Amino acid sequence: MRDYKYIENLEKSIGYSFYDKDLLIRAITHSSYDMDSNYEKLEFLGDAVLQIIVSDYLYEKHHYLSEGEMTVTRAYAVCGETLGKASSNMGLDKFILIGSSGKKKKINKNKSVMADVFEGLTAAIYLDSGIENAVEFVLRNLIDYISEYIESGDNKDYKTRLQHIVQDKYSIEPNYVVRSEKGPAHDKTFSVDVFVKGRLCGKGKGKSKKKAQQDAAMNALRKFDRRGHF
């Protein structure tokens, strides 16, 4: 595709001009439009690039956060909901290339598709000119969401963040099970396991069931952070 006006307007929307225009086109091409040359592989790379960019930003600019708070904040920053909002704010839905079947379903406005395109563009910019421009693109579009999230204090609520991630990926909720209660009635310690899709994902302990659930959720988030899945 070589519609130069389309490319010019797209580059204005994302705030970056590509050397390799084919990379740009691939980053916004859905598989319904082209099965062989679409954003799926770029999306894979973009996810990793996003993780390191947001991690580095939090480490450098918000070093006062605990490891757990950084993990939760990063998970929020790179989740489908946040990336979808960022893409929407750039107006990318008008530029995503989709096939006739996709047009009927309006998948260009689908939150998940728009998040995938954000990841694809991140990778494309990284490949086109290196990490510095990718950093500039990512932070320009995500920094407000990150700041608002930190200020809200939601990054201290591991259970809520885990629920958001699980619902975003699997459309289900985590399941918490009390494994044991130890100690006298006035000083009990609870042990809780959290399951996702029937699989044990985290273990936690606390002086109340709520604290044990938070601990289990934090443990699950750390595992998710290392593996990228539950």
Cα–Cα–Cα angle for 200, 171, 103, rounded to 5 degrees: 145
Q: Check residue 196 and report its DSSP letter.
A: E
Q: What is the pLDDT of residue 153?
A: 82
Q: What is the pTM (predicted TM-score) of this model?
A: 0.76
Q: What is the pLDDT of residue 2?
A: 64
Active site residue 3: no
Residue pair 119/43 in contact by the 8 Å Cβ criterion: yes
CA-CA-CA-CA torsion sign (55, 61, 63, 64): negative
Given 43, 47, 93, 215, which residue is catalytic? Answer: 47
Dist CA 202 CA 191 (whole Å): 11
pLDDT tens digits, one per residue of 72-112: 899 889 988 899 999 999 999 999 999 987 787 888 999 89
Task: Identify the structural domains of the chain with CATH numbers, from first to last.
Answer: 4-156 (1.10.1520.10), 159-227 (3.30.160.20)
Chain centroid to CA 123: how far? 14
**Of 69, 83, 115, 43, the residue nearest 225 (C-alpha):** 69
Residue pair 141/90 in contact by the 8 Å Cβ criterion: yes
The torsion angle over the Cα atoms of residues 176, 171, 85 and 157, rounded to 10 degrees, is 0
User: Average pLDDT for residues 7-17, to the nearest whole number?
Assistant: 96
Active site residue 215: no
Q: What is the pLDDT of residue 11?
A: 97
Dist CA 85 CA 81 (whole Å): 6
Q: In 3-state terms, what secondary structure has residue 43?
A: helix
Cβ neighbours, 10 Å, residue 180: 12
pLDDT tens digits, one per residue of 162-221: 887 888 778 899 999 999 999 988 889 999 999 999 999 999 999 999 999 999 998 998
Cβ neighbours, 10 Å, residue 13: 15
Dist CA 130 CA 181 (whole Å): 53
Residue pair 212/193 in contact by the 8 Å Cβ criterion: no
Q: What is the pLDDT of residue 66?
A: 85
Given 93, 116, 119, 128, which residue is catalytic? Answer: 119
Q: What is the pLDDT of residue 226?
A: 67
